[in-house]
Amino acid sequence: MKKKIILGIDPGYGRTGYGVIDAQGQKLTCLDYGVIETSAREKFKDRLNHLHQDLKKIIKKYNPEIVAIEDLFFFKNAKTAMKVGQARGVIILTAVQAKKEVVEFTPLQVKQAIAGYGRAEKAQMQKMVKVLLGLKELPKPDDAADALAIAICAASTLRLREFV
């Protein structure tokens, strides 16, 4: 079975989580995870540029075949949703410019793929990510753990597509 590097992204404009995994059949290996943070003191356009530049570096370093990103699902605050939507646009454009396949998943799809339950709590998700990737400790912060979960969801989806 072909080895695939997958970059999972939990989008945001203040903090964007990323997780890089190596998926080879059923075997998943964590290569890296963390967050891209921008300062609230920066102008919004500069925050988006910061996100773009840092994401380009991550893509260049790991050269993923696939960039998996969480889709916007529900926000109570419309202003926040618009800004996160703009950050998602920057993330997608950065991946497309790097000629990467982009796949998107809702939070429900990610939770079902990882925990088998669409309403799984954050703590349960972190524990499952730790187990699935064989990590020594829970991945933190939450944004990075979510990004790893998104990458694992993409790997699961790819395995299913290969059987069809």
Q: Which of 22, 54, 143, 146 is catalytic?
A: 143
The answer to whether residue 146 is catalytic is no
Q: Which residue has the tokens 């339950």?
A: 117
Could you tell me the end-to-end alpha-carbon distance of the chain, in angstroms, rounded to an integer? 15
The answer to whether residue 70 is catalytic is yes
The answer to whether residue 10 is catalytic is yes
Q: Which of 10, 22, 54, 146 is catalytic?
A: 10
Residues 6+ apart with CB under 8 A from 91: 9, 11, 16, 51, 55, 67, 69
Q: Which of 22, 37, 65, 70 is catalytic?
A: 70
Mark out the alpha helices in 41-141 (DSSP H runs).
Answer: 44-62, 78-97, 107-115, 122-133
Length of the chain counted residue by residue:
164
- Please state the φ and ψ torsions of residue 101, each to the nearest 5 degrees: -70, 135
Q: Which residues does the annotation mark as catalytic?
A: 10, 70, 143
